[in-house]
Amino acid sequence: MSNRRHILNADAFDQLFDALRDAGYTTVGPTLHDGAIVYDALTCAADLPVGWIDVQEAGRYAVQDTGSGRYFDYTVGPHTWKRFLRPPREPLFEAIRSGAGVAFHAAAAPEETYALMGVRACDLAALGVLDAVLTGQTYVDTRYATRRSRAFVVAVQCARAGNTCFCVSMNTGPRASAGFDLALTELKDAGRHVFVVEVGSPRGATIAAALGLRDSTEEDWAAARAVSAATAANMGRQLDTTGLVSLLQQEAENPLWNDIAQRCLACANCTMVCPTCFCTTVEIDSDLEQTRASHTQVSDSCFHASFTQMHGGPPVRDTTSARYRQWLTHKLSTWHDQFGHSGCVGCGRCVTWCPVGIDLTAEAARLRASHEERA
């Protein structure tokens, strides 16, 4: 299969699910559940949120049935792919005490082999961020690395921008150009309903060959690019990143942080839905006889007061203002110092799922305006 772009008819979409299952993958992706589009196990195309869109605004989320028959008109929901590649609770090891001493037993190695169906460009960029953090440093998260190396990625090129999306500002979308095994652009009009399929890896080529696809035409490819261009032109939000790295560090004492803290609940919703936040803690549970203790890695957040709790003293960041400043400054500024790029991919989840509607893009703009006014 020399051509890297093909056409898959929508009425044959189930063949992709079948091919992935035959190759040993468990397919997970978007589905409608409890009034939200979440990521869960999928068995066929009908499990996708066909015809449904999400309507998002700061602090607001709803789904709506349009009856369009399109598979991928939603944007992103409360789940991220960390749900499968780095679960929020991860057994690490058990310590068992006996007459012979203490024995340590590592948790079993991950066995899951996932096919991630419907990965958006922003979330694909987020996986790249997590790869750099969790596998590209001195200490490697081996369990994440194992699942990630096995994962088959089916990206979807966005045909619709949400009201809280700003991936164009972060140069992370709406079109994915690399990092996937297959990428789909959905085209639906009065005369056809097809997917333009881009092959991005040898694994992707193998699956595409099993489907017996026909090659796309230049007209198909032009239509697919036009979908991405229209989406890029209709972003719901913008974030000016010019000089933002140094600006945020210069504004550490700006009183606007206190103003934000008056609204912030420190609930950690923004970090829980963020596709790049990676902080964890370890829980230790022991039995009543104190012969067995299990250690479990659990997702944590810099918004929790206990996150910077030190032995014998108060938390290092003991105010909501300090914790919000830490989160925003790290995400948009000091992440560059640590990893060479931003920690934000412009998905907009933190804006949508903040209970009080704090908007990262608006707060960054306010800090910029305050800085420029003093200057």
Considering only CA atoms, which of 88, 79, 76, 61 is closest in space to residue 120? 76
Q: What digits encode the pLDDT tens for the residues 175-214?
A: 999 999 999 999 999 889 999 999 999 999 999 999 999 9
Encode the chain (375 residues) as per-residue pLDDT tens digits: 446 899 999 999 999 999 999 999 999 999 999 999 999 999 999 999 999 999 999 999 999 999 999 999 999 999 999 999 999 999 999 999 988 889 999 999 999 999 999 999 999 999 999 999 999 989 999 999 999 999 999 999 999 999 999 999 999 999 999 999 999 999 999 889 999 999 999 999 999 999 999 999 999 999 999 999 999 999 999 999 999 999 999 999 999 999 999 999 999 999 999 999 999 999 999 998 889 999 999 999 999 988 887 777 778 888 999 999 999 999 999 999 999 999 999 999 999 999 999 999 999 999 999 999 987
Give the CB-side neighbour count of residue 9, counting CA atoms within 13 A.
Answer: 6
Strands (E), 68-225: 89-98, 101-106, 114-119, 152-156, 182-188, 193-199, 214-215
Q: Where are the domains of the chain?
A: 5-89+109-232, 244-277+308-374
Q: What digits encode the pLDDT tens for the residues 27-45?
A: 999 999 999 999 999 999 9
Q: According to the model, what pLDDT value does residue 67 have?
A: 95
Block residue for tokens 């929901």: 77
Sign, Cα dihedral of 118, 123, 127, 130: negative
Specify whether the CB–CB gap between 124 and 176 falls below 8 A: yes
Provide the whole-model pTM. 0.94
Across the chain, mean pLDDT equals: 95
b/e for 18-54, b at 16 or more Cβ within 10 A?
A: ebbeeeebebbbbbbeeebbbbeebeebebbbbebbb
Q: According to the model, what pLDDT value does residue 3 have?
A: 61
